[in-house]
Amino acid sequence: MKLRKIVVLTLVIIGLGISPLGAGQDLFIKNGTLLTITKGVIHGGDILIIDGKIKQIGKNLTPPQGIRVIDATGKYVLPGIIDSHTHVALSGTNEASVAISSEVRMKDVINPEDTAIYTALTGGVTMVHTMHGSANPIGGENVVLKMKWGKSSEEMYVPYAYRTLKFALGENPKRANIMTVSAKPRYPQTRMGVMAIIRREFAQARNYMQEWERYNKLKKNKKLLGFILPPRRNLRLEPLVLMLQGKMYARCHTYQADETLEFIKLSKEFGFKIAAFEHAWEAYKIVKELAAEKIGISVFADSWAYKMEAYQGIAYMAAFCTKHGVLVSINSDSGERIRRLFNDAAKTMLYGDLPEDEALKLITLNPAIQLGVAERVGSLEVGKDGDIAIFNKHPLSAYTRCEMTIIEGEVYFDRAKYLEEQQKKAATKKPKKKGGQK
């Protein structure tokens, strides 16, 4: 009986044209200029997507009968843009009432109705790393989402990405006291206090981990099983234990070079991994250290001096660090700037003279590597997800615009269709009567 219900439900879903959870679509894109990121440029190229995956890439391909075909003649086709640092699609960003909030999870407060998701799609963005804020020295667990506007939070969630925990140094966690309702200032209030409280929590997490290791070892002895109790669970320490075990990575908000180096020392002291530093406007001062440690940075293109610790930022930083072997991505940290990350990538050609392919990597392959999803997205390759953005001109042109955004073979943004719908709505509106009402 249960099997019959499942079959009937599946047929209904197919009949309504609704995609089952996690299912991809079939699509054929023909005759576009393919910016593959890893395999060069293919002029007049085609892409076949089957079940949401890229099945073929090349020239003069033949689409299967009945498949939807998109003509990309005169247009540029590239992998979907990835924003490695933003706060869109959330119902909360900071838990500022305490200094340490490692137990909170962004996946618990995903808001699939946030209109910033659609804004992102209009700029070719298909995936984001949406993060806890920087009010806490140790914040919550971040989440990676695909911008599937109109779908549920479960359908947006990317389970195969790195699990990351947010850390913050400097001014933000210091001044977070003003965000609390308590009359008593929250510890810490200094830069040294921020580093000290992070060290304290990792020391406690190491002890907690060792307690569980001892318990798990003792419970193997059946004679002792009835005489020992497990340690009391601590949800705040458990994410830090995962970090000590190499199962979760740090994403650390930082600005000053000295603090950034201190956090690297702390990671070596406790043995956890840093996926990337956020903002990191003084990264150019310690580029050799970052390259040696293979730690990436996620940065703005040219926005600095908006507070004291950002005063020594330079527009050349993204290009400079890239040329010196640091894995760099450009982020938005914004629900508005997210729609023009391609413009920000282009700025590195002016400030730093990066070649086109390296500039495009800053918003495609590099953030994919930082998020641990490069096997699935970040470039146009057979076997990867059919996450694609189509532009009317080269995406690094100042005159370009995104025409279509596709995720796993399904079109989530179509500019022509959107404009057509807006024109229909305008035509059906009743004209306002002149003069006042009687």
Q: Is residue 6 part of a domain?
A: no
Query: Could you tell me the CATH number of the domain that includes residue 209?
Result: 3.20.20.140
239 shares a domain with 385: no
How far are the Cα atoms of 19, 73, 75, 137, 249 from residue 99, in angstroms, in the given order?
42, 54, 49, 6, 19
Q: Which pLDDT belongs to residue 14?
A: 36
315 shares a domain with 228: yes
86 shares a domain with 52: no
Q: Is residue 428 part of a domain?
A: no
Phi, psi of 286 (to 5 degrees): -125, 35
Q: Is residue 2 part of a domain?
A: no
Q: Which pLDDT belongs to residue 2?
A: 44
Q: Give the count of domains, the chain.
A: 2
Q: What is the DSSP string of 180-219?
A: S--SSPPSP-SHHHHHHHHHHHHHHHHHHHHHHHHHHHHT
Query: Could you tell me the CATH number of the domain that includes residue 55?
Result: 2.30.40.10
Q: Is residue 18 part of a domain?
A: no
Which residues fall within 8 angstroms of residue 79, CB to CB, at 6 or more apart?
36, 37, 364, 365, 377, 378, 379, 380, 384, 387, 388, 389
Q: What is the C-alpha separation between 181 and 204, in angstroms, rounded?
A: 28
128 shares a domain with 43: no
Cis, peptide link before residue 159, omega less than 30° from 0: no
193 shares a domain with 150: yes
407 shares a domain with 345: no
Q: What is the C-alpha separation between 254 and 235, in angstroms, rounded?
A: 25
384 shares a domain with 371: no
Q: Is residue 102 part of a domain?
A: yes
Q: Is residue 217 part of a domain?
A: yes
Q: What is the C-alpha separation between 32 and 46, in angstroms, rounded?
A: 7
Q: Is residue 427 part of a domain?
A: no
Q: Which pLDDT belongs to residue 22?
A: 53
Kind of pairing between the strands at 143-146 and 81-86: unpaired
CA-closest candidate to residue 107, choices 143, 140, 147: 143
106 shares a domain with 200: yes
Q: Is residue 422 part of a domain?
A: no
Q: What is the DSSP string of 48-72?
A: EEETTEEEEEEES--PPTT--EEE-
Along the chain (438 residues), what's the average pLDDT of each consecutive run of 10 residues?
42 39 84 97 98 97 96 98 98 92 98 97 98 97 98 97 98 76 77 97 98 92 83 97 98 98 98 98 98 98 92 96 98 96 97 97 98 98 98 98 98 96 86 59
42 shares a domain with 145: no
298 shares a domain with 252: yes
112 shares a domain with 65: no
Q: Which pLDDT belongs to residue 11?
A: 39
Q: Which two tokens stand for residue 362?
A: 């800053």
162 shares a domain with 111: yes
| Domain encompassing residue 351 | 81-377
